[in-house]
Amino acid sequence: MNAPVTSRPDIMAALEDRGHRSTAPRRAIIRILEGKQEGFTAEEIGKELPDVGRATIFRTIKLLLEADAICKLNLINGAPRYSLSRVEHHHHTVCVRCGNVGEFRAATVERLMRAIGSDIPGKIVGHRIELYVTCRQCMTPDQPSRNSEGP
Amino acid sequence: MNAPVTSRPDIMAALEDRGHRSTAPRRAIIRILEGKQEGFTAEEIGKELPDVGRATIFRTIKLLLEADAICKLNLINGAPRYSLSRVEHHHHTVCVRCGNVGEFRAATVERLMRAIGSDIPGKIVGHRIELYVTCRQCMTPDQPSRNSEGP
DNA sequence: TGACAAATTGATACTAGGTATCATGAACGC
DNA sequence: GCGTTCATGATACCTAGTATCAATTTGTCA
């Protein structure tokens, strides 16, 4: 749980490889979200970078999604959230209390998809699996939850 | 593919059981969506019922979600879509071309969730699985697609 | 049947998340 | 250094959905 996960190759370089320019706003956004191991929203980025326009934040998020550098997922109430992609193909756990996002890979999932594929009319072209969890921090009582979904 | 699936108990009765009144707009909305085996959007309902206010449509959808009479899912591009719940707990297939929604149950899925649960920090409280497919109709060439997602 | 309280409705305004437009400004290849 | 092309921020707009509120409809009870 405390290994230096941040040995990911430069995200800005990945964008440049796809023909996009290295600009100050893009670098700033990437720097911010590299610090957010637990997922983020567009609004959060905007608050931390008040000089960067809202449109630019959404545009950059879109580029990062296209480059598979981040992925988009939904809280159980539908609120969108983004998360850095650390491993190639993976799925997410989302804490229903604090919104923290985790990743997991499971070979079983892929096997399952192939198995289900034969039962389903048509051809499977993709899948999305999200597990809603109560994370360790939120299970210990009277821990302030960062992003409560209570009434 | 042509069995009379509509032997579902009265949806309006389910709402009444939950303390809601049987009103003309609600009955109209339910009648419309009972005819939509393949999923629907709020906007579609609104177009078919121009005399029913937009707010009422969203309010009714919310009640139906709470009563588990319908469920909400997302197309691969994030566009929301609703679908009648035919079986108790199930997952969805969504055609990436025409948007048609199917349901499936798989005991394997539930077993998988329990298995994954032991590998994940925290407690699983729910899950969402969506399979993106190209459905039979859309696989046969030059079939007009109802709801294309192309560029 | 009629009256009444409570629930529901439609209109409207509003919010969140995201996209389109467009004139100005910055990158980068030479 | 310069010009083209890309990117930016401001702004307006869009879709999906919620809040407000006066007017209407329901269900109930006499």
User: Which CATH number goes with the domain that contains A109?
Assistant: 3.30.1490.190
Count CB-CB contacts under 10 A for residue B21: 8
CA→C1' distance for B58 and D26 (Å)? 20
More confident residue, B99 or A67: A67
Q: Which domain holds residue A52?
A: 11-139
pLDDT tens-digit series, residues B105-142: 878 788 888 888 888 888 888 888 889 999 888 887 65
Residue B144 lies in a domain: no
Query: What pLDDT is recorded for position B9?
Result: 61
pLDDT tens-digit series, residues A117-148: 888 888 888 888 889 999 888 887 654 444 43
Query: What pLDDT is recorded for position B29?
Result: 98
Confidence of residue B25 (pLDDT cuts 50, 70, 90): very high
Give the percent of chain A with pLDDT over 70: 87
Protein-contacted bases of chain D (C-beta within 7 A): 6-12, 15-20, 25-27
Pairs of residues, one from chain A and one from chain B, whose beta carbons lie less than 8 Å apart: 110
Query: What pLDDT is recorded for position A112?
Result: 82
B54: the nucleotide nearest its CA (via C1') is: C10
Q: Region A21-38: what's the mean pLDDT?
A: 94
Residue A101 lies in a domain: yes
Confidence of residue B103 (pLDDT cuts 50, 70, 90): confident
Residue A145 lies in a domain: no
More confident residue, B77 or A29: A29
Residue A119 lies in a domain: yes
Is residue B46 within 8 A of residue B57, CB to CB? The reply is: yes
Residue B15 lies in a domain: yes
Residue A39 lies in a domain: yes
Residue at shortest CA–C1' distance from C11: B53
Q: Point out the least confidently predicted range of A7-16, A124-133, B56-65.
A: A7-16
Q: How distant is the Cα of A121 from the closest Cα of chain B, in angstroms?
A: 6
Q: Which ranges in chain A belong to alpha helices (H)?
A: 11-17, 24-34, 42-48, 54-66, 107-117, 136-139
Query: What pLDDT is recorded for position A47?
Result: 95
Is residue B94 within 8 A of residue B76, CB to CB? The reply is: yes
Residue A48 lies in a domain: yes
A80: the nucleotide nearest its CA (via C1') is: C17
Is residue A131 within 8 A of residue B123, CB to CB? The reply is: no
How many structural domains are present in chain A?
A: 1
Residue A1 lies in a domain: no
Nearest to B61 by CA among B13, B15, B121, B96: B15
pLDDT tens-digit series, residues A85-121: 887 778 899 988 888 888 888 787 888 888 888 888 8
